[in-house]
Copies of this chain bind each other. A is one copy, B any other.
Amino acid sequence: MIPTITAFETSPDRGKGLARDMRVRWALEEAGQPYAVRLVSFQAMKEPAHRALQPFGQIPTYEEGDLVLFESGAIVLHIAQTRAGLLPDDAHARARAVAWMFAAVNTVEPPTLELVVARFLEGDQPWTEQRLPLIRDRIRQRLGDLSARLGEADWLDGAFSAGDLMMVGVLRRLQASGLLDEYPNLAAYVGRGEARPAFRRAFDAQLAVFAGRPATD
């Protein structure tokens, strides 16, 4: 049974692989699991057929037989729990890897989303220019803590895990902001993630969808 995921039909980021299907593609590649992709237009994403799979009208979704999942973190965890390659065998180490998955989406990602809001939803507001330094400082707080914990290690807790996959996925969205470069060990950490063969395959697969098509923003 080959799982089917959904992804954007047109790329909001010109194929940089910043949409959340990238995290799921990467996990599937790490696990050596072939998959199919169904592309969804921005209009179709908000219609009842898609909302039956994803209540918030977003991508990605994951269908495997009669299992339907949404939320990239939950899909990555499901892949990690049902295939080898993304979680350690030791029960305690597994629980810690899951803690890093939640830290990625619930502690590091929220302040970075403020940057997305400021740029795309409040970009034309008079206060945005003045707010940006405050937002960037809040992101720096998280990055500073993360950088201190990572130190000189390759990955957050022993071998590469789904926790690193999710954290690298979150941090990649900061590359354009320049903030990541203020923390050389975090920039190198993201580079190590991006250098993994499974990441490259996933990246190329999402890029192929958009190659030769116009970008949407």
A binding-site residues for B, Cβ under 8 Å: 51, 55-58, 66-75, 77-78, 92, 95-96, 98-99, 101-103, 105-107, 109-110, 113-114, 117, 121-122, 125-127, 130-131, 134, 138, 142, 145-146, 148-149
A103 near B134 with CB under 8 A, answer no
Q: Is the interface of A mostly helix, strand, loop or mixed?
A: helix
Kindly report how many copies of this chain are found in the complex they form together. 2
| Bound CA–CA A121/B117 (angstroms) | 17
Given contacts A73-B102, A74-B102, contact A92 B107 (CB under 8 A): no
B99 near A71 with CB under 8 A, answer yes
Write out the residue numbers on chain B whose beta carbons fall within 8 Å of the beta carbon of A51.
145, 148-149
A55 near B146 with CB under 8 A, answer yes
Given contacts A102-B74, A122-B134, A134-B121, contact A149 B69 (CB under 8 A): no
Among B105, B121, B134, B148, the residue within 8 A (CB) of A106 is: B105
| Bound CA–CA A56/B101 (angstroms) | 14
The 4 closest A-B pairs by CB, nearest first: A127-B127, A74-B99, A71-B102, A55-B149
Instruction: Add 15 more A-B contacts to A55-B149, A56-B142, A70-B99 (CB < 8 A).
Output: A51-B145, A56-B145, A69-B96, A69-B99, A71-B102, A71-B103, A72-B106, A74-B103, A75-B99, A102-B105, A106-B106, A109-B110, A114-B114, A125-B131, A127-B131
Among B69, B98, B110, the residue within 8 A (CB) of A95 is: B69
| Bound CA–CA A103/B75 (angstroms) | 11
Write out the residue numbers on chain B whose beta carbons fall within 8 Å of the beta carbon of A56.
103, 107, 142, 145-146
A106 near B73 with CB under 8 A, answer yes
| Bound CA–CA A105/B102 (angstroms) | 8
